[in-house]
Amino acid sequence: MIQLELFGNELVEIIDKYSNTRYILRKNTVRKLEIKQIRQSKTDSIFSLVKDQNTYLLEHKNAKIEVAFRKVIDKIAKLKLKKNISCTLIDNKLNLKIDNQTQAEIEKLGNYSAPLS
């Protein structure tokens, strides 16, 4: 188990006594930014879908909210965001909720570890 605190701006070397493997650790700020942008793009696409579905439900009286709800849930699952985003139905309207605690934990990632023999 490697502690996240070891990932800093400086290179850190760890040696596993049992396997005699060296690990070089450091924070990868470029990858962390890329991951954040990708996650934001995914979140924006889900918000856009919810907005479109809510507009469609208002304009089409025969439209079923269950179908719109399922589309949003499927999109959340497809983008692998079930841990941070949930969809609820309130007053025949789709609403999204973002779990900020899970989001903060995910943002701690973006580190680099390379084993060396």
Domain-located, residue 61: yes
pLDDT digits over 6-42, tens only? 666 666 777 777 888 877 777 777 877 888 898 889 9
For 36, the token pair is 């954040």
| Domains identified in the chain, total number | 1
Q: What is the DSSP letter of 4?
A: G
| Measured distance CA(69)–CA(52) in Å, rounded | 12
Domain-located, residue 4: no
pLDDT digits over 72-103, tens only? 999 999 999 888 899 999 988 999 998 876 66
Domain-located, residue 89: yes
Domain-located, residue 106: yes
Q: Domain range holding 42? A: 30-110
| Measured distance CA(36)–CA(24) in Å, rounded | 24
Amino acid occupying residue 13: E
